[in-house]
Amino acid sequence: MAEPFYITTAIAYPNGKPHIGHAYEAIAADSIARFQRMQGKDVRLVTGSDEHGLKMDQTARGLGRDTLEFATEMSNYFRMMCDSLNVQYDAFRRTTEEQHHRASQALWEAMAASGDLYLDRYEGWYSVRDEAYYAEDELVAGEGGIKLSPQGTPVDWTVEESWFFRLSKYRDFLIQLNESPGFLEPDSRRNEVLAFLKGNDLRDLSVSRTSFDWGVPVPGSPGHVMYVWVDALTTYLTGIGFPEREGDFARFWPANLHLIGKDIVRFHAVYWPAFLKSAGLPMPRAIFGHGFLLHRGEKMSKSLGNVVDPLELAERFGVDQLRYFLLREVSFGQDGSYSAEAIVTRCNAELANSFGNLAQRTLSQIYKNCDGYLAEISNHTQDDGALFELVGRVTSIDMPEAFDALALSQGIEAWMSAVFACNAYIDAQAPWTLRKTDPARMQTVLATLYIAIAQLGVAILPIIPASAGKLLDAMGIAPELRTYQAIQSHWYSPLAESDFRLDQPVGLFPRLELTIDEPA
């Protein structure tokens, strides 16, 4: 049986439509999941929508909408985003679903059975926008001296009866866990969490609310609903069948990777492990906090008019082009910047001019000069061997190792180095000239390039699955060959000796253009 691999995105809060940050995380998670599937793993990718909490209720009421009806509409936008961006999730979970309520209540009851929940009175600062509690010493001064959260969001003084979770009990455990190699990455996120854990007396956490009723009811405590983060984090369990302990849950928990934005690391690296420990459940194996996407170096803001719908970008430039740009341009884990000009420049230079043109030139010559039949191989030269060695190393070692380490942009950079090498090879060998001077050599050159292009096409499948898949279909590369190792095997001769015949090639990546009305 294949080794299981369970990956999750953050559970999106749908009080507004998806933005480019949501798209970035979903695309990254999908690419990682596709890579792991190509490694032969049995993968589960779970995403969803976190629909409870005061912010969601206030937004719906402000629009004069029923909260559940509003949540359903907004959740559908996130599902549509995933579908439009070719994100192959295995489950899309909504926190308003009955199973999720049962899962959240089962987790609550397990924490209560450990003696970690008690009733008291909460008095303190709360940010509705962040759905987070903050201590006095965490607040910052805004204009006019008003108090703001560390994220710069408004806070209100809140007083109400609340259930508390004994978070303080787990301080030493959480320090040890976050010091464990590989648990929280990248290093900057781990350092932030450890500074928080070691620099503060960890206070118990208020985990229920009585001032509104839009949430999961606390079992046995009428009038209380769960703090939205208890509820939201439980989605990672719900997505694989919890509260059932057999079947998918037994197979896939603990998660191999929680992929999240850096702004919610504390909830995942502090609160979530403590809840799991209290409930007697294993810890996730890894948490990765990626950076923010900035528009021309600035945070996105409605007031600045720089909030861009990711689906509009995908429609304008292409889904695979957007996927490629985001994962190539930004070093994963760090903040990055995007613009329409940057997308056009990067995709034209690398997808259209380099890889797309390489494939088009090679396949067109086979179609015209060999009547569509795969070229014969005679004697390989040192140049041919050098190209095979470079492309083989990149596609079977460098890229898989980079992707496995979540160094996505570095993996794509290695891929581009092999694409450049192929372009240098075809220019140096000039098979269009060899057609007249040395037809046998021309065939060997074209066969060498065909094999290299197939290897490159397979290697980039997780990033641009539709375009690479279309190329591999045209090249007759069978599904079972579309793994990093299988495409290194001796498949070319059997394919060339079969009745396969190449159709007239069609360009993969049309050149992108900026129009006058293109948003900045």
Nearest-angstrom CA–CA distance, 501 and 438: 23
Q: Are 48 and 232 in contact (CB under 8 A)?
A: no
Q: Are 263 and 299 in contact (CB under 8 A)?
A: no
Phi/psi at 371 (5° precision)? 60, 25
Of 283, 281, 282, 275, which Cα lies nearest the Cα of 112? 275
The DSSP code sequence of 273-340 is HHHHHHHT-PPPS-EEEE--EEETTB---TTTT----HHHHHHHH-HHHHHHHHHHHS-TTS-EEE-H
Chain position carrying tokens 């209560």: 112
Q: Are 288 and 331 in contact (CB under 8 A)?
A: no
How far is Cα of residue 311 from the mean position of the Cα atoms in its chain?
16
What are the C-alpha distances in Å from 220 to residues 108, 151, 229, 256, 449? 11, 35, 20, 34, 68
96-119 tens-digit pLDDT: 999 999 999 999 999 999 999 999
Residue 165 neighbours by CB distance under 10 Å: 25
Residue type, 308: V
> Residue 425 corresponds to which tokens in the numbers above?
């090879």
Phi/psi at 161 (5° precision)? -70, 140
Side-by-side strand order, sheet with 4-9: 91-94, 42-49, 4-9, 257-261, 287-290, 184-185
Residue type, 152: G
Residue 299 neighbours by CB distance under 10 Å: 12
Residue type, 240: I
Q: Which domains does the chain have, with CATH numbers?
A: 4-291 (3.40.50.620), 339-497 (1.10.730.10)
Phi/psi at 224 (5° precision)? -105, 135
3-state class of 162 per DSSP? strand
| Vertex 403 angle, CA 2 and 456, to 5° | 95
What is residue 443's predicted lDDT score, i.e. its pLDDT? 96
What is residue 297's predicted lDDT score, i.e. its pLDDT? 64
> Residue 230 corresponds to which tokens in the numbers above?
């208890």
Chain position carrying tokens 């259930």: 163
What is residue 254's predicted lDDT score, i.e. its pLDDT? 98
Looking from the CA of 396 toward its CB, the CA atoms found within 13 Å total: 15
| DSSP single-letter state for residue 44 | E
Residue 471 neighbours by CB distance under 10 Å: 26
What are the C-alpha distances in Å from 453 to residues 371, 384, 440, 480? 19, 13, 20, 17
Nearest-angstrom CA–CA distance, 161 and 121: 4
| DSSP single-letter state for residue 212 | -
pTM equals: 0.93
> Strand 4-9 to strand 257-261: parallel, antiparallel, or no bridges (unpaired)?
parallel
Q: Are 275 and 235 in contact (CB under 8 A)?
A: no
Taken in order 380, 384, 386, 388, is the CA torsion positive or negative?
A: negative
Nearest-angstrom CA–CA distance, 519 and 513: 13
| DSSP single-letter state for residue 220 | T
What are the C-alpha distances in Å from 309 to residues 92, 215, 290? 21, 29, 20
What is residue 67's predicted lDDT score, i.e. its pLDDT? 95
Task: Decide: residue 319, CB within 10 A, 0-12 exposed, 13-18 middle, 19+ buried.
Answer: buried
Chain position carrying tokens 């009038």: 223
Q: Are 30 and 86 in contact (CB under 8 A)?
A: yes
Which stretches of the chain drop beneath a pLDDT of 50?
Answer: 303, 518-520
Query: Is the bond leading into 186 cis (omega within 30 degrees of zero)?
Result: yes
Nearest-angstrom CA–CA distance, 126 and 487: 55
- Of all helices (H) and strands (E), which one includes residue 29? helix 20-38
